[in-house]
Structure 1
Amino acid sequence: MGFKGRDIEVIPSAGNYLVAACDSCSAVGSKEFDIVKVPADVAGRFTTRVALLEVITVGAVPQLITAAIGNEPEPTGAQILQGVYDELAAFSLKNIPVAISTEKNFPTRQTSLGVTVVGCCQNSLRVATSLPGDLLYCMGLPKVGNEIEGPGDPEIVNNSQLQKLLQTAAIHDIIPVGSKGILGEAGLLSANILRDFILESEASIDIEKSAGPSTCLIFTAAAPIDCSVFNSVPCTKLGRIV
């Protein structure tokens, strides 16, 4: 069971929901034919991040992760896995089981991997919960490729800020932004509840730009949000649901 505008699959199970999300990454690493040159562990971190955000933002708790690495076990595979484990630790999930596969038959000249996260939601899914009149915000800035200053980039959303959102009663939908850009995700969010949205912000944020590995997210709120509680990450009011 999929949800329009959400990159997840959901299966009802014994009164709960199993939620799965995946992400792939190619040509990002330190191999000969990689286009974006970064250490392999960075590719592992950001690919893991995308799948985790998709699962966590709908209210599910990750239970299992798989890492399908299209490269040799050493050194690239080990470096990617270090990034996977580092990102899990950043999300306080360092003890989660990880199923791993690497390429052991052929040499490779370009970095590639796929990450799947499976979570469990024991309550109602946080999907299509927005209401007419809700305010629409963006947290973080859309960045892609070499624009990202590593996992600690202060302009991209992190798990600590996400957890504050999840614990705020006024917050309704939370959606990670990827290649569709802020405008694309906002359109899907409003379409999911058979509504529309209007932009009321003159902020300089580029709403059509790809956010790469979910460097920002959009969320709706029933009341104005004090963005200062989210520390230094940029937080912009975009408009409202109508």
Structure 2
Amino acid sequence: MDSRRTEQVFPGNRDVGLIKLAGDLCMVVACDSAGGIGEKQLDAVKVPSYVLGRFTLRVALMEVLSVGADPCAVTAAICSEPSPTGEGVISGIKDELKSVKMDLPIVISTEKNIPTCQTGLGVTVIGTVHEKSLRMNNTQKGDRIYCIGIPKVGNEVRLEDPEIADSMLVKELLNQPLIHDIIPVGSGGIKREAEVLASHLGLSVKWRDDLAVDIMKSGGPNTCVIATGPEELHLSCAKPVSLVGMLS
């Protein structure tokens, strides 16, 4: 048995867990769940299993990518039968990985004993990163807060919507060295994510008066992200970009 000791670190302001391994290497873990979304009789939001698989994987993948980690494995806990629901979900997961040019091992479990009338899914993404490469909690006083994408939830969410954030956007933002933090926005909304970050760093948020996005609204499956950086940071991308506030 490997006798190396591991230290678990769960930053209170991020939806990832860090597990310190040998040297300065860390394992990064993120997960997402979906319930009542799918094609079954009692599902509240009707979408193909394929779409469910793509978005659920996307959420966890964006979280891992956003802290600078390299994803290395995926798990999919599908609370439904292997076919057709399971097949649709896995097809969506694989295509979402292909969209960011990744081919990762996927550990899969499906419900083979009990018939189900509502869809449930849990996805985990595991990655690794060296501590010196972590892109987390680098925000500074005076940084601007930008929202990239538009918060959408439930039936508003469409796979090919050009206004929403995705995993490729996070990868592109990571290539901009002036960006201090990238935070995917889920059910907590823009306001909560920014204020949790600020509180963690002993800062406060001054919101703009002329906000172009609803900072209180749920971001659903990470349909937008916030990015922080200095005044000289100028973001240019295919997604909608809004300056929403400043940290003081």
SS class of match (2:206): strand
User: Is 1:82 paired with 2:91?
Assistant: yes
Q: Show the counterpart of 1:197.
A: 205
| Cα distance, 1:201 vs structure 2 | 4.7
Work out the CA distance in 1 between the residues paired with 2:167 and 2:186: 16
In structure 1, the residue matched to 2:240 is: 234
Residues of 2 paired with 1:201 and 1:82: CA distance?
44
Q: Given that residues 44 and 83 in structure 1 are in contact (C-alpha distance below 8 angstroms), is that contact kept between their aligned partners in structure 2?
A: yes
Counterpart check, 1:39 vs 2:39: no
How far off is 1:169 after superposition?
A: 1.1
Q: Distance in 1 between matches of 2:219 and 2:126?
A: 23
Residue 57 of structure 1 and its aligned partner are, at CA, apart by: 0.2
Q: Is 1:187 the equivalent of 2:180?
A: no
- Is 1:177 equivalent to 2:185 in the alignment? yes
Q: Name the CA distance, whole Å, in 2 between partners of 1:165 and 1:41.
A: 27
Aligned 8 A contact 2:75 2:123 in 1: yes
Secondary structure in 2 aligned to 1:66?
strand
Q: Equivalences for 1:1-242 in 2 at 5 Å?
A: 1-14=9-22, 15-93=24-102, 95-122=103-130, 123-150=132-159, 152-227=160-235, 229-231=236-238, 233-242=239-248
**Contact 1:138 1:219 (8 Å CA) reproduced:** yes
CA-to-partner distance for each residue in 1:164-192, whole Å, 9 max, x for gaps?
21011110011000111000001011112
Query: Tell me, which stretches of 5 or more residues in structure 2 are unaligned?
Result: 1-8
How many pairs were matched up?
Answer: 238
CA-CA distance at 1:67 after TM superposition: 0.3
Contact 2:71 2:125 (8 Å CA) reproduced: yes
AA at the equivalent of 1:239? G
User: CA–CA distance in 1 between the matches of 2:198 and 2:32?
Assistant: 24
- The answer to whether the 8 Å contact 1:170/1:223 transfers is no
Partner of 2:3: none
TM-score, normalising length: structure 1: 0.95
Distance 2:128 2:209 in 1: 36
Deviation at residue 4 of structure 1 after TM alignment? 1.3
State the distance in 2 between where 1:160 and 1:100 align. 24
Contact 1:135–1:224, Cα closer than 8 Å, also in 2: no
1:161 deviation in Å? 2.4
Give the secondary structure class of the aligned counterpart of 1:171. Answer: coil
Amino acid at match of 2:95: D
Question: What amino acid does structure 1 have at the position aligned with 2:171?
Answer: Q
Contact 1:50 1:213 in 2 (8 A): yes
Q: What's 2:6 paired with?
A: none
Deviation at 1:226, TM superposition (A): 3.1
**What's the TM-score, normalizing by structure 2?**
0.93
CA RMSD of aligned residues (A): 1.1
TM-superposition CA deviations, 1:33-74 (whole Å, max 9, x none): 000001011111110001001110001010010000000001
Task: Tell me the amino acid that sits aligned with residue 228 of structure 2.
Answer: T
Unaligned runs of 5+ in 1: none
For 1:195, the aligned partner's letter is L
What is the deviation of 1:238? 0.8
Counterpart contact for 2:166–2:222, Cα < 8 Å: no
Partner amino acid, structure 2, of 1:105: N
